[in-house]
Amino acid sequence: MSSQNLLSSIANVSDDTEFYTPIPAGYKPGKTKYVGVFGTVMSGLGKGIFASSLAKVLKDKGLTVAPIKLEGYLNLDSGTLNPFRHGEVFVLDDTMECDMDLGTYERMLDQNMTRLNFSTSGQIFTAVLEKERRGGYLGRDVQMIPHVTGEVKNKLRQLAVATDADVIFIEIGGTVGDVENAYYIEALRQLAFEEGEKSTCWVALTYVMEPPALGEQKSKAAQLGIKQLLQCGIQPHIIACRAIHPVMAKAREKISLYSSVPLERVFSMHDCDSIYIVPEMIRDANLDKQVVNILGLESRTHPEMELTARDMWRDYLTRLKAGGEAITIGVAGKYTSVRDSYASVIKALEHCGTKLGAKVEIDWIEVTDITAANVSERLAHLQGLIVPGGFGTRGVEGKIACVEHARRTGLPYLGLCLGFQLAVIEYARNVCNMAGANSTEFDLECKHPVIDILPDQKQIEGLGGNMRLGGQDVILKPGTLAARLDNNTPEARLRFRHRYEVDPRFVSQLESGGLIFSGKAPDYPIMQVLELPQNVHPYFIATQAHPELTSRPLRPDPFFLGLVQAAMGLSNPPATKKSDAPIHA
């Protein structure tokens, strides 16, 4: 039976059948293929890195790709997760707060994701329960199989319809064996059955240990992890082996034998200097050709497109490996013990260093240890400073001390979100003579609440008293540094995640003191970018937005590019071509 006939026969909803597979309008059985990536042994091995890298090499061949991350936790999104628990919260243009792997997908694929590219168990169960309340199951007792698994498959097919993708990449968070992931894995087993031959390709990401006391690689944990996947009814087509060093033939042969996966599909994904090397590792191992063959996609590929895309990527890697002048940028934050909290900041600096021929080294500055007395000594060795976003009062005064040091000494400075707000507070206190200036987030009774939650703005923006999220247009003041950084365009598209704003009552006083608000919301008095004149400071700029979220390897973000250039001692803002600018749409 063809996949189209099979789907038609099992998509009915009634109490006379155990089948339940909703098919979204416009879905074309056989058109879209599916690649699933499962983790074994332990989490944090780099499923998102592998999935995005494989997706990139298929996109380079002219195929349309769309990833989706399936998370097992019950949160509706990642917005309430502590960075210490789960790394940074990555915000999409359409306001979705999601897992940091979505940032990896956006950067690697150079395409914007939407809420369709991210799902949690909370979303799945909410959709099922809402449908049950509406009578959508026609009186059936609602069960994990087929109804919850049916909702997972429906979400995947909705993404296929919305993107018209040739290949959907499915990354399941966590590892095989986690109880919260069992129904996701079962849904993909069913998907393979329903879609038919050459419709799915399953990848098991595993870990090959190398205990120092033994001096050799051990594959037993990998074998047992893959066994768990086999017990779920998933026969992997490819095994990707994470390891510190290249996985030797002996370990790969054992894994091949144990998993019934051909040796040429047991891939060594060992540690490398940058995640951007992984696509070339995949190509060198011919895994991309293996996947195209498994899915029967040969007729849809365009070799000439791949040659051009690969040449561009190789050029980037050549510049990345070449390094260059070493500069040190300080990142003054309070989550510095967990680097994943600032994953996008790290990558944005890497993109800019590669473009400008600099080796950017990051000095992580724990701001809870910074005071007015030690800030000069602590920051003396830096060529640039970033104060990133954050929530809560801890470390705020240490960050303000860092901002003041950068402003007074001419140290190139970039403030992000909270770093923008603290630059306003510092300037109000120390230049505009507003003693006690602060944010109502930190002091509700402060004398000069230059940063505040503004009820009228919340009503205008329709935010329900919550976060201002996602992509927003920003009007740039002509002739300012912000405008020049963005190629003198009148308007930029930036991403936001914040609750507090500059109180408009203080804007004129701050501007009279010399502060320039060079970017604002189009229709409301919401300040989005500030700067100091370049005859006063070589590079002092901050934005309420998170420009690190839109930086891409081949098109670095202008705010970060300007910081790195200033840190290198180059006086003029970077003359980026339009094709180099980050996506603002």
Q: Catalytic residues, which ones?
A: 417, 546, 548
For 387-529, where are the alpha helices, taking DSSP H only? 396-409, 418-430, 455-461, 481-485, 507-512
Q: Which of 445, 395, 457 is nearest to 422 (CA)?
A: 395
User: For the chain, how are helix, strand and coil distributed in percent, rounded to 5?
Assistant: 40, 20, 40
Q: Phi and psi (nearest 5°) for 371?
A: -135, 170
d(CA 556, CA 558) in angstroms, rounded, equals 6
Joined tokens for residue 293:
């063959």
- Contact between 27 and 168 (Cβ < 8 Å): no
Q: Considering Cα of 124, then 129, then 130, then 131, what sign does the dihedral take?
A: positive
Amino acid, res. 205: L
Edge-first strand order for the sheet with 491-498 is 358-366, 325-333, 384-387, 413-416, 540-543, 527-531, 516-520, 468-476, 491-498
User: Rounded to 10 degrees, what is the CA torsion of 530, 532, 537, 543?
Assistant: 0
Q: Could you tell me how far CA 535 lies from the centroid of its own chain?
A: 36
Q: Considering Cα of 204, then 118, then 291, then 231, what sign does the dihedral take?
A: positive
SS3 199: coil
For 30-89, where are the alpha helices, taking DSSP H only? 47-60, 83-86
- Contact between 296 and 200 (Cβ < 8 Å): no
Alpha carbons within 13 A on the beta-carbon side of 507? 18
Joined tokens for residue 122:
């909370």
Helix (H) or strand (E) holding 200: strand 200-207
Q: Which of 561, 544, 552, 543 is nearest to 584 (CA)?
A: 552
Q: Could you tell me how far CA 242 lies from the centroid of its own chain?
A: 21
The tokens 């009228």 sit on which residue? 456
Q: Which of 119, 99, 107 is nearest to 52 (CA)?
A: 107
Q: Which of 376, 508, 543, 372 is nearest to 434 (CA)?
A: 508
d(CA 441, CA 454) in angstroms, rounded, equals 12
CA distances from 555 to 217, 240, 394 (A): 39, 29, 34
What 8-state DSSP symbol labels residue 93? T
Joined tokens for residue 326:
């070493």
Amino acid, res. 420: F
Give, to the nearest 10 degrees, the angle between helix 418-430 and helix 396-409. Answer: 70
Q: Which of 456, 33, 429 is nearest to 438 (CA)?
A: 429
Amino acid, res. 210: E
